[in-house]
Structure 1
């Protein structure tokens, strides 16, 4: 599904429709999507450096998705009911871009330590 660039913001509390929760989770048209190819630091991470990197990853994901149209390639759901998908802009995985920038790592089927 091609999504035209739309103003995504950082998610606030309450109902979520079109926003970025963290570096690997977004809400698009009311659907909660987990970027299937990456893992990013947690906003409530175990150390200050993880929390700071999580904020940078989230902000960067907002900027990437707001820069132009992107494609959502869905691949199922996870145990939390989130849609698993890889997002692409200009033929490149958004997750790969975050990895290249040091804001994410490749998803290995388990959380990696960031501290």
Structure 2
């Protein structure tokens, strides 16, 4: 009986930890910081590029800030095989297209979480006509350009 209780407690703690992991899921309402409104024209990052640019399918820059979209993992530009590199280029182009569809909102956490690379972790949303909200992470997943981030990288080759 004690073993069963210990396993149940461990499962509850695991689920709670995953639910609050800033890289895995959007912040719950009570942990959200203010909404940061963004209206910019995005290019691909590179030498001489502008203030707003897309690094890859899950990261973009605004000035000196690097923003990592919460909840997704996209292929790497410097991927391990040609297939991953092709998928990464397509994912970056799709993220650029989505960001350029108009103003959007970045939502962070009140504790201003960053990932291990120092990137700001943000949910990205856009209000649509009729009151609907578009999640950029969800759009990237639905289009097949990114996967749900599970706390670790999986191969794309």
Q: TM-score, normalised by structure 1?
A: 0.92
- Cα deviation code 1:27-82 (max 9, x no counterpart): 01331111111000001111111110100000011111011111101131011111
Aligned partner of 1:10 in structure 2 is 44
Structure 2 runs not aligned, ≥5 long: 1-35, 128-132
Larger radius of gyration: 2
> Is the Cα contact below 8 Å between 1:16 and 1:30 reproduced in 2?
no
Distance in structure 2 (CA, Å) of the matches to 1:17 and 1:48: 30
Aligned length: 114
> 1:81-100 to 2 correspondence within 5 Å?
81-90=118-127, 91-100=133-142
Distance in structure 1 (CA, Å) of the matches to 2:85 and 2:104: 27
> Is the Cα contact below 8 Å between 1:17 and 1:31 reproduced in 2?
no
Distance in structure 2 (CA, Å) of the matches to 1:34 and 1:14: 22
- Decide which structure has greater strand share: 1
> Is the Cα contact below 8 Å between 2:105 and 2:125 reproduced in 1?
yes
1:77 partner SS: coil
Structure 1 runs not aligned, ≥5 long: none
Aligned partner of 1:108 in structure 2 is 150
Instruction: Give the 4+ runs in structure 1 shifted more than 3 A.
Output: 13-17
Q: TM-score, normalised by structure 2?
A: 0.68
